[in-house]
C-alpha cells in the first residue's frame, strides 16, 4: 500500500507540472487536456492495482500450475485468489475446484515421483533445511492425513529472492490450492 501512495503523490506532482507549465507558456487548454488524460490513466492504474485479484483468469491458473508440472485437462472453477506484493515480498494463493479425473491424475503423478514420502515417512521442512548454499532447489512430494502435497523451494542465490511453492490436493474435496511466497 505504501508503494501505491508514493505512486499517487508522484503522479499528482506530474499533473501539477503538466497543468501549470503549458498555462505559463500561454496554452491553458493543452494543460487541461493533458491533466484530464493523465488523470484518467492514473485512476485506471489505481483501480487495476486495487482490484487485480478480480482479474485472475483460468488461463493464468493453468499456466502457473503447468510450470509446476501439473496439467488440468478438464474444466475447473476458481474459488478464490489472493495476492499481495509489499515492497520486497510476494505472496500468491489460489484455490481451484477441479474434476475427479484431474484430481486422481495429479495424485497419481505425485505418488509416482521419485522420493515420494507416504503417510508414515519423515518429511523435512524444505525452507529451513537448506543443507548449505550449494543447494539450487529442493522438491518434496508427500502425503499427510488429509491431502497430498508438492513442495518446491529455491533459496536466495546470487541476488535472487528465495522462492517457496506449495501445491495441496485435498483428499476429501476436489480442490487444489497453490501457494507461492518470495522474499
SS3 150: strand
Q: What is the pLDDT of residues 51-97, one digit of tens each?
A: 777 778 999 999 999 998 899 999 999 999 988 776 567 889 999 99
**What is the Cα–Cα distance from 110 to 138, expressed in whole angstroms?**
15
Q: Which of 148, 154, 165 is nearest to 91 (CA)?
A: 165
Q: Note the pTM of the prediction, 2 decimals.
A: 0.74
pLDDT of residue 127: 67
Residues 107-115, mean pLDDT to the nearest whole number: 90
Q: Which of 143, 145, 139, 146 is nearest to 166 (CA)?
A: 139
Residues 149-162, mean pLDDT to the nearest whole number: 82
pLDDT of residue 23: 87
Using alpha carbons, list the distances in angstroms from residue 102 to 28, 87, 153.
62, 36, 24
**Within 13 Å of residue 67, how many CA atoms lie on the same side as its CB?**
10
Quickly count: other Cβ atoms within 10 Å of residue 35's Cβ: 18
**What is the Cα–Cα distance from 162 to 154, expressed in whole angstroms?**
6
Using alpha carbons, list the distances in angstroms from residue 6 to 9, 115, 146.
5, 48, 44
Amino acid at each position: 500500500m505504501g508503494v501505491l501512495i508514493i505512486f499517487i503523490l508522484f503522479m499528482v506532482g506530474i499533473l501539477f507540472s503538466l497543468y501549470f507549465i503549458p498555462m505559463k507558456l500561454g496554452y491553458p487548454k493543452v494543460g487541461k487536456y493533458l491533466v484530464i488524460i493523465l488523470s484518467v490513466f492514473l485512476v485506471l492504474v489505481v483501480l487495476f492495482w486495487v482490484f487485480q485479484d478480480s482479474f485472475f483468469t483460468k488461463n493464468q491458473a493453468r499456466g502457473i500450475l503447468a510450470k509446476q508440472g501439473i496439467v488440468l485437462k478438464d474444466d475447473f472453477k476458481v474459488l478464490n485468489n489472493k495476492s499481495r506484493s509489499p515492497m520486497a515480498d510476494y505472496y500468491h494463493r489460489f484455490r481451484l475446484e477441479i474434476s475427479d479425473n484431474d484430481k486422481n491424475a495429479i495424485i497419481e503423478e505425485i505418488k509416482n515421483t521419485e522420493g515420494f514420502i507416504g503417510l508414515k515417512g519423515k518429511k523435512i521442512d524444505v525452507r529451513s533445511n537448506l543443507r548449505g548454499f550449494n543447494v539450487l532447489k529442493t522438491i518434496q512430494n508427500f502425503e499427510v492425513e488429509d491431502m497430498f502435497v508438492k513442495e518446491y523451494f529455491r533459496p536466495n542465490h546470487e541476488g535472487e529472492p528465495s522462492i517457496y511453492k506449495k501445491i495441496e490436493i485435498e483428499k476429501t474435496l476436489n480442490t487444489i490450492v497453490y501457494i507461492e511466497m518470495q522474499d
